[in-house]
Structure 1
């Protein structure tokens, strides 16, 4: 007969051994409730006659408290200020940064963009000059009550043309004396790096082959049991020196661009000095040109409104006296010619004649 199946009753199963004691389990459960609801598991304690629970007050304050270790709010430097772990102290201990090839290329690219913008300004100024010259062709047929504004138009044409020429010359100077030398220097560095990397690569290949030969030699001697401790130490030293040289050449190939770029810092600064001289010369040219056009005057009796004085130099129409009048004349009619009238003052309407007033006062006094 087949054996009867074994039946296990509940009495045969012993209770599992608890991982925590009863007190520990209760504390863990309470801690879990506090983490889920941190403000609703305080024991109520009587606050005396006031009837205020101190735990409720603390819970209310805890809602607005900021955890010192919350993400983004704890300043680690506050506790290490002035110490060895202070970020400022660590930064001060670091060596000064060195110029890399990528930063060098970014600098030259920014210079190229700057030079192109100067050229664009010169081209835009020249376009504006042509527009002003086209506008000046319509001046003779127009009625103008203040003739000196025509002189301002001529001055604007001349000054804008001056600015266009000066910036075009400056852009060419930037390209010739600043941008081109740096671009050529980068190309020379790249050529030198390519040649040096090829040389280092050949040297690395020869060192790797030598290292393999040394390993094979040591393995054969060990297999034939003809190698002593001294020979083993010598072989290890040779292999370590070969490995160090391979590592040095590999690192040199990876950092050769940055090393040569940093070595050319003096050359870069010298070209920056050339850029400064070109910039100063450009604005000095503009200043001298505006001075020749009459924008500045060293005389003490120069009027505050120097636009009228420029009108006699640059105006393309004769400044005949006109009477200020707001009404527009009908087509075909003109103002009466009063150029021979002595009562008409032919000076600047904004300027007061002191000599005329002095003579009038003398006549009133009987002198």
Structure 2
């Protein structure tokens, strides 16, 4: 039940106003002047205040001005009740902070309408405040969750890296029966588009860093450059999910292309034509057996070299070369597309012949990822 404070030094007017409000189902508090009204408003925080203007000790304007100075009462709506209905008095009242102004004698219907309007407005304001408060709480909880999750993942990553390096350096190496492998022809046709001289070295570094950032962003676990090619292997020992890893590799392929094109445009100081830009980078994505071996390097003491081998590596390299010959920007093997067909859009298909270290397999042009699984 809304609680309304009526402040008026005229007992008859105060009684009539209170009677109208009570008949409408409101709880009513009364004060005989502005000073008493301010004290009651401060202690009870009513939903609405009806206040006379001309009163002893503290008039209506002074009382409302005092209310608006206090944060706890500043948002309580106020209706002035006064026999002074001239525009100048109305303007003074509204400038003081009142929400409405009713001239005496007041009709009951007019009073009820004004009260209902302001109470509805106050309810809406309180609901909006509650929604914003709830949003702020949820944001704070999410931030806390992400902070804790980030700390956990950092500790987990340190432990996985320790185990990963230990297993790589073992006699048998680190074996994956089925790991997504991304191969990219990073500097083949690209070199002719880069500036000459010292600027070329800066541009090559910028392109390489852009490619690494894109691959690591989507979970690449191991990168191995060779010549103008680069291989990226996607594994997750903590939460192995073949479908997720395949989609991460695919999204990495398209993100890598955009990142490298942007790096090339920055290095050149001007964008390449769209058709020429799209033909710069060829990417192939396959999945298959992979072994990572740590090779001892006697020259550098404890430092070593990680070698990626296996049918998955050989097939990914063959797929990359085959896709480049077919003018496919992104090539995808049928093995990798298996189980994620609804999440990707493919184009033309072809057959990649058998090589020295891999069997023949079917491949297709990958046009785009569609959506992320729920």
**TM-score (norm. length: structure 2):** 0.21
Which is strand-richer, 1 or 2? 2
Considering fraction of residues, name the structure with more helix: 1
Answer with 1 or 2: which has the greater Rg: 1
Q: Which has the higher contact order (CA 8 A, sep 6+)?
A: 1
